[in-house]
Amino acid sequence: MLRTKLDIGPAPWLPPDARSWVHLKIHEAYQLPASLPVMALAENMAEKIARLSRRTPARDVYDLVWIATNSPHSSFDRELVRRLSILKTWVDQYGLQSPPARWQPVAGATTYDPTLWTRLRVGEDFDDESIGLLAVPAPDLADLAAAMLGPYSFLGAPDELEQDIIGSGAAGRSQVIAQIRSLPGARFDGRELW
């Protein structure tokens, strides 16, 4: 039996990227668009990083390691990913609204912790649910943790503005909103956001 899972949530903060199909012969039988709009890689990464701030699903670590070690994806914008990660971690904790979109606070969300990205996690830190679906054989979790440490150490060095957001708690809402409005593509510039 095949099952499909779709995660449906509020619109992404960055404009979508257009991705072409991985060509398969069967595609010739259908009238398909040349490309599909997909979430920008930096935002997808930031959502995984924010989730890793409250739990440690091995599948997210696996994805992040794969991105960091495979070109052209490995050339991602590190400053943008860090900024988005800090903003998304804040929103996970305190919530945000831009009608009709609503980002509810997430159970177990905590303040962004830069030290999480500068120390080696151990295999026991990971929730290995579904990791066997990504890779056969499943990777050793200690090896996966070690592979993530170097490429993502930039997450442990927030700039001054990001440190302010991290330290502001719920009182930092106006600063978070200003940063979301200033993201590339300005999708929330001129939209209600609180």
* Span 38-70, pLDDT tens digits: 999 999 999 999 999 888 888 888 899 999 999
Token pair in block for residue 167: 């330290």
190's torsion region: left (phi>0), alpha (psi -120 to 50) or beta? left
Residue 188 lies in a domain: no
How far is residue 145's CA from residue 121's CA, in Å, rounded to a whole number? Answer: 6
Give Cα separations from 95 to 67, 102, 105, 130 (angstroms): 28, 8, 4, 28
Query: What backbone torsions phi and psi does residue 21 show, to the nearest 5 degrees?
Result: -70, 150
Please check whether residue 33 lies inside any domain of the structure. Answer: no
By residue range, what is the domain housing residue 53? 40-181
Q: What is the pTM of this model?
A: 0.88
The structural domain count of the chain equals 1
**Strand pairing report for 101-103 and 17-20:** unpaired
How many CB atoms lie under 10 A from the CB of residue 90? Answer: 26
Q: Per the domain annotation, does 4 fall within a domain?
A: no
Residue 194 in domain = no
What is the pLDDT at residue 136?
A: 67
Domain assignment present for 16:
no
User: pLDDT 10s per residue in the chain (194 long)?
Assistant: 777 777 777 889 999 999 888 889 998 899 999 899 999 999 999 999 999 988 888 888 889 999 999 999 999 999 999 999 999 999 999 999 999 989 999 999 999 999 999 998 877 777 766 665 566 677 778 888 899 999 999 999 999 999 999 999 999 999 999 999 999 999 998 899 99
Neighbours of 60 (CB within 10 A): 20
Q: Which residues contact 188 (CB under 8 A, 6 or more apart)?
A: 13, 98, 180, 181
In-domain check, residue 108: yes
Considering the domain boundaries, does residue 95 fall inside one? Answer: yes
Question: Is 35 part of a structural domain of the chain?
Answer: no
